[in-house]
Amino acid sequence: MERNRAALAFATLGHPGRLAVLRLLMRFAPQGVRPTEISEALGLKQNTLSHHLADLTASGLVGVERRGRSLFYAVDLDATEALIGYLALDVGRARPDLLASITSGKDPAMRDTDFDVLFICSGNSARSIFAEALLRDLGKGKFQAFSAGYRADTVPNPMALDVLQRNGHEIGGLRSKHVSEFQKPGSVVMDFVFTVCDTSAAEECPPWPGQPITGHWGLPDPVKATGTDAEKALVFAQTYAALLRRIAAFVELPFESLSRLSLQSRVDAIGLDAQEKA
């Protein structure tokens, strides 16, 4: 990255509000987010957010796309990669003592299956519960699946459990868990962390140990469905089916032949394909 462009990017990120917006957008990357959703997640006034988005766009770190009547803002991953590379390789001269902590891999001794995967949604009552059960059963021992949420005192939704039972999944061991269970010392170090709702993706969360590959596979909350019991049950079944398609595609990836970069691209593509078909 050219020095003046890097200086502009660093100056733009020197404001805590703009930095917060970029960090939120990165949690949704490569997907875009509407300004109203950014404003709600960060508690920013619309006019303040507009200034931040304009500055981030001018710096080249963020791009904007119109879809119908809505604008979607997304991180420009190429520009962000160039900025990080400039800081690490040019400014930092690629010193190993600076890079070691972010390039070190997961300790193989901590692995108890091939891959440990965590699914997060707001309440851990339906979507992430579906995902945990699906990966556990479709993965055939190659994956250890977990799920969690950000709301306390939740339980698996009865309609979600009914859908799982009707599709042949064992539900006896499923329970709702707070995400903090997986952030304690000695917790399983995840290889993948997926958010399956926009609320959980927008949550402020410290970096996960081990630098897992992350993905955002957001879906509407079936718990909020209205109508008759039959209409609500249909929404739960549709949510289950959407996650089934994504996880079936995920478990079929040729993990042994993919680099981390390629694997991240495949994970992103699964989320984007599902978004376009929604």
Which of 79-83, 86-90, 95-99 has the lowest average pLDDT? Answer: 95-99
Question: Tens digit of pLDDT for each residue in 184-220?
Answer: 888 999 999 999 988 777 777 777 888 889 999 999 9
What pLDDT does 116 receive? 94
Which whole number is the average pLDDT over 95-122? 67
Q: Where are the domains of the chain?
A: 3-103, 108-277
Q: Is the dihedral of CA 169, 170, 172, 173 positive or negative?
A: negative
Which whole number is the average pLDDT over 230-241? 95
Q: Which CATH code fits 3-103?
A: 1.10.10.10
Question: Tens digit of pLDDT for each residue in 160-169?
Answer: 999 999 999 9
Question: Tens digit of pLDDT for each residue in 15-57?
Answer: 999 999 999 999 999 999 999 999 999 999 999 999 999 999 9
Which of 17-26, 73-82, 194-203, 255-264 has the lowest average pLDDT? Answer: 194-203
Which whole number is the average pLDDT over 263-268? 91
What pLDDT does 107 receive? 44
Mean predicted lDDT score pLDDT of the chain: 89
CATH superfamily, domain at 108-277: Response regulator (3.40.50.2300)
